[in-house]
């Protein structure tokens, strides 16, 4: 029996080059699916390209509350119309300086843009910079899908134990504390355990992290990644650039395909 794992690419819709790289990998069978950022002007065009793949790829929503223009414009969340850096998000929400209703309105707007263009609910939900783990987003998830007979799957907490990235994983795991258990009680299924976290400022670390995941992830375990091609749009929106080309190259390579075969592993498609 082949062991099946999920490879999900973040950030579809962030820039045309990112979306093109992800579509290429989906065509090659090197990804299970991707999560979509719906707040940019190019979203309708990007959605039209991925819509035909929704029957075989897992296409989800990548909730975004940091560093990008707010779909809802100015609010207590985005006083100048731009979402705050991650370090400026969590504590102000907890202390009441950001109105929870403004956060929920932004998430509602991103969700609506997904459904309006693709004509379907997201297969799963995760978060840019893991914001779906924040309490205010957990509250939104429960409310938004409280009456849904079929809830989207949620990306779960990271797996601990990789010494090379232990501090980063531990920090994310702390924010995610109790997430899997509480959201499962609310009726959500969870993609877990999560692998793929490393210091993206050191692109050479991606291949070893990926190959370790191929060897160790359990059946249906999840590996997150950020492949794509760098273009002018990406340069103006996100500092995560060269590493996306590195990730794309590794995932598209014959060597990666050979490593899957040696390990007796196959990448699940979105129907699994």
Question: So which residues are the catalytic ones?
Answer: 10
C-alpha span between 120 and 109 (Å, rounded): 15
Decide if 157 contacts 179 (C-beta within 8 A).
Answer: yes
């Amino acid at each position: 029996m082949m062991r099946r794992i999920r490879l999900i690419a973040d950030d579809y819709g962030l820039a045309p080059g990112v979306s093109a790289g992800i579509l290429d990998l989906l065509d090659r069978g090197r990804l299970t699916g991707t999560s979509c950022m719906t707040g940019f002007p190019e979203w309708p065009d990007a959605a039209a390209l991925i819509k035909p793949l929704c029957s075989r790829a897992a296409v989800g929503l990548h909730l975004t509350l940091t560093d990008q223009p707010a779909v809802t414009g100015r609010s207590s969340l985005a006083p100048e119309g731009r979402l705050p850096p991650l370090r400026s998000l969590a504590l102000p929400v907890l202390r009441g300086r950001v109105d929870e209703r403004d956060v929920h309105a932004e998430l509602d707007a991103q969700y609506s843009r997904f459904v309006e263009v693709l004509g379907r609910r997201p297969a799963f939900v995760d978060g840019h910079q893991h914001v779906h783990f924040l309490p205010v987003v957990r509250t939104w998830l429960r409310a938004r899908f409280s009456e849904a007979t079929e809830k989207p799957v949620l990306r779960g907490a990271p797996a601990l134990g990789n010494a090379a990235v232990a501090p980063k994983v531990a920090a994310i795991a702390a924010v995610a504390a109790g997430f899997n258990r509480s959201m499962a009680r609310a009726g959500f299924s969870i993609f877990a355990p999560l692998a793929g976290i490393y210091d993206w400022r050191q692109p050479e670390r991606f291949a070893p992290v990926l190959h370790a995941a191929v060897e160790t992830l359990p059946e249906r375990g999840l590996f997150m990644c950020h492949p794509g091609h760098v273009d002018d749009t990406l340069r103006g929106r996100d500092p995560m650039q060269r590493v996306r080309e590195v990730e794309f190259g590794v995932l598209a390579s014959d060597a990666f395909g050979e490593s899957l075969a040696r390990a007796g592993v196959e990448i699940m498609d979105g129907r699994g």
